Structure 1
Amino acid sequence: MKAKTIKGNSTTEIKKAFENALEDGFTPTLAIVFLSIKQDRIAISQMLEAKGISIFGATTAGEFIDGEIGEESVVIMLLDIKKEHFKCIHFETGDQQTLDISKQIGQIGLDTFKNPAFIIASGGISTDGEMIIKGIESAVGPKVTIFGGMAGDDFTMTGTYVFTNGHYEITGLVALILDEDKVQIAGLATSGWQPVGTVRTVTKSEGNTVYTIDDEPALDVVIKYMGINKNIDEWKEVIVNVGSEFPMQIQREGSEPVIRAPLFANKTDRSLVCAGSVPQGSKIRFSLAPDFNVIDKVIEECESVKENELPNADALIMFSCKARHLSLGPMVSDEIDSVKNVWGAPMAGFFSYGEMGKSTKGKHEFHNNTCSLVAISEK
């Protein structure tokens, strides 16, 4: 399988880059498209559809190929993977719950391939990413391979979308299902955020909404933890700071903590809406953002994946939490570039609102504030 990456700041630039990519006779069958909500995803999708290319797309909070980070731009990875080795499907949320939709995606995967693997992108800001994992696992089993990310919207929090052929404003799910008997897939999800402070208890929650922590309104607890006195009308800034710098870590026996970052606050009941489920009764600790050593840790873990799981990759896809971009600043470019250099394969990715992937000591799960990398190679 051959992969090429292209980028542009407009539809015109992308069309030119696309034409240049095909000049040597390259005939891609699949396009991984990550772009700003300000870009014309319909025109770009139709350009790809005219060549019979399947599309797996998501809007972003920043996009990149290799170590080059774009803002309000377009990046595309073109792959000439055999059509019989993959399938793109989508579901709009509608009246169905994320869990039910994900079960259907898992079943379609099983009906299509004996050993399906899933790369998922989710539209809709309030989607509970944990339900995506649970739904697919309920159909396929707990050892299923799942990677992916929650779409972004340039950090405006106004609306995120995923898209595929003929469907350009999906607030549900788009799935790239791969035949794991024909396509080797490996990867990891790593964070670097360190737990600090005392253990607290989520005393009231429902799904991905946290109402109280230690019997106090959740929003008040995080504002107090940050040590600031913010006017409640500035709640959006508060949540941005909490999500990027002080996310919650759910403590779990026998496995690594899982991070949950608030996306919204409700000024009426002072609850927090997170990107993934936070079960009532959970023991949590707040976090501190990673230091300069986090990149070394990411590279070390990637090198372990290369050595033990996938020595050679045809393509790399990265879902990196927007919080990493906010916290690491220019260093995030070094992280992206260093990961690419482990395999030396083409890379495309975007800054997301939640990630799916496999932690180094666990199974495939939903994460926040994480760098989730998937490496693929056609057998």
Structure 2
Amino acid sequence: MSRTSLPSDLAGTVATTSPDGRWFGAGRSVATDAFTAGAEATAAAVAGRPEPGLILVFARDHVDMQPLLDGVRSRAGRNTKIAGCSTIEPMAASADPAGFSVSVVAFGGDEFGYEIEVARDVEGNERAAGGLAAAGLARLSHAHKVLVLLIDATLTDNVEIVRGAYGTAGAAVPLVGGLSSDDWQFNRTCQFAGDSSGVEIYKDAVVGVAIGSPQPIGLGVAHGWRRSGDPMVVTDSDGLKVYEFDNEPALDVFLARVGLDESVLTGSDSFRLAALEYPLGVATRSGEEIRVIQGVDLADRSVWCSAGIPQGGLAWMMEGDLDSLVAGSTESCQQAVRTLGGATPIGLLTFDCAVRRRELGPAGVRREFAEIERIFPGVPFGGFYSYGEIARYRGATGMHHLTMVSLALG
């Protein structure tokens, strides 16, 4: 595998090329002008190599997206496909990760294949939209395939979108991705898709990027949170709503467990932001997964969660610190690489939770990135911080929260 150094302002990052000519690169830009930022980040990801087949763009939600995407197109090839979404913060190796506005991940080489599908007007048609977003997989004949899903976070039932995609993709194709994010406004998110001739910006949409490869593709999922306190039995639940923990109103139990009072319920956003600090862990067949309480019903003192918790199941309050959250990031990447069967990855595509980002802080993020680079020296990585992470393979539920999902390309 060869490595190509990127421009001096991206010291410490590299681009990689496999023996069969496939390559992967990640770049970012600190430019304040949107067009310049898109052009610089793309140039850094491509690093002077042949025309990229696919470019993924992750831009801060406040950026003027159209000129930024025009900048990306200015450095893309004539046949390059482009997709991406807004984010509270991009991910790409950097000495100061909080200081850049866009990250770009580029794929190249004749042995890769790519197809992009966009499902529009998704609200109320989530499962069908997921199936449509996965339709590009059928046009790829590669030995190994993966579907990257980029979903509008303001949609009501993202679990159904993942189920619809899984129904089309089948059990052998991993699903990864995330919900587009903004600066905790929960209304400024967007997705985009197109090619070198033009890129459209969407809301109420799902973008599905199907990638085919002749070599294995690995998936990793970890979070770094740990159990705190005694378990609670879910004594009454239905779908996303939990009515009772331990035969008591779920909202009352939650508030008592975390030490919050009724004043936090005065505004929906204030409760939602407060509840993000106190995730639940749920025992599932595939391991322990994280649930986030996203709202309440004061009439029956119930709570509704980011994904269902079955009646009779066990749930725990979860806690984490800088060490455990960084360890979750590296464990996610290591899981993904282990599934390659000994092959050296040419790159890592990463989807990390915006809440984990808030808990880590700038110093924690620098440490997170440094640890990934230490364990996988010379392997470029890039992605974004999301409002929900997608990882489904061999029966996993699919939607995750407060988690790091990693995709390793062999």
**Shared topology, TM-score over 0.5?**
yes
The amino acid of 1:41's aligned partner reads M
Aligned match of 1:106 = 134
Alignment of 1:135-284 (within 5 A): 135-165=164-194, 166-180=199-213, 182-196=214-228, 197-201=230-234, 203-206=236-239, 208-214=240-246, 216-231=248-263, 232-244=265-277, 246-252=278-284, 254-265=285-296, 271-284=302-315
Q: 1:352 aligns with which of 386, 392, 396?
A: 386
> Residues 95, 6 of structure 1: CA spacing in aligned structure 2 closer, same or farther, 3 A cutoff?
closer
The amino acid of 2:141's aligned partner reads F
Give the Å deviation of 1:304: 5.4
* Distance in structure 1 (CA, Å) of the matches to 2:347 and 2:270: 37
Give the Å deviation of 1:355: 0.8
Q: Percent identity?
A: 19
Q: Does residue 97 of structure 1 match 2:128?
A: no
Q: 2:97 aligns with which of 69, 80, 96?
A: 69
Structure 2: runs of 5 or more not aligned: 1-21
Give the Å deviation of 1:30: 1.7
Q: Does residue 340 of structure 1 match 2:370?
A: no
> Residues 211, 81 of structure 1: CA spacing in aligned structure 2 closer, same or farther, 3 A cutoff?
farther
Q: Does residue 13 of structure 1 match 2:41?
A: no
SS in 2 for 1:43: helix
* Distance in structure 2 (CA, Å) of the matches to 1:226 and 1:235: 18
* Distance in structure 2 (CA, Å) of the matches to 1:136 and 1:265: 29
Alignment of 1:74-85 (within 5 A): 74-82=102-110, 85=113
> Residues 94, 370 of structure 1: CA spacing in aligned structure 2 closer, same or farther, 3 A cutoff?
closer
The amino acid of 2:286's aligned partner reads S
- Please tell me the root mean square deviation across aligned C-alpha atoms, in Å: 3.1
Aligned match of 2:84 = 57
* Distance in structure 2 (CA, Å) of the matches to 1:363 and 1:264: 24
SS in 1 for 2:294: strand
Q: Does residue 324 of structure 1 match 2:347?
A: no
* Distance in structure 1 (CA, Å) of the matches to 2:338 and 2:70: 40
Give the Å deviation of 1:108: 3.7
* Distance in structure 2 (CA, Å) of the matches to 1:242 and 1:59: 23
> Residues 184, 86 of structure 1: CA spacing in aligned structure 2 closer, same or farther, 3 A cutoff?
farther
The amino acid of 1:174's aligned partner reads V
SS in 1 for 2:276: helix
> Residues 291, 130 of structure 1: CA spacing in aligned structure 2 closer, same or farther, 3 A cutoff?
same
Give the Å deviation of 1:271: 4.7
> Residues 71, 248 of structure 1: CA spacing in aligned structure 2 closer, same or farther, 3 A cutoff?
farther
SS in 1 for 2:330: helix
* Distance in structure 1 (CA, Å) of the matches to 2:241 and 2:233: 16
Structure 1: runs of 5 or more not aligned: none
* Distance in structure 1 (CA, Å) of the matches to 2:109 and 2:392: 24
The amino acid of 1:42's aligned partner reads Q
Give the Å deviation of 1:294: 4.4
Aligned match of 2:66 = 42
Q: How many residues align?
A: 372
Give the Å deviation of 1:333: 2.6
* Distance in structure 1 (CA, Å) of the matches to 2:383 and 2:49: 25
For the Cα contact (< 8 Å) 1:29–1:83, is it kept in 2?
no
**TM-score normalised by structure 2 residue count:** 0.79
For the Cα contact (< 8 Å) 2:276–2:292, is it kept in 1?
yes
Write out per-residue CA displacement over residues 120-167 of structure 1, whole angstroms, 9 at most, x where no aligned residue. 111132443332332222223223211111110111222422111232
Write out per-residue CA displacement over residues 149-190 of structure 1, whole angstroms, 9 at most, x where no aligned residue. 11101112224221112320232211110114x253213010
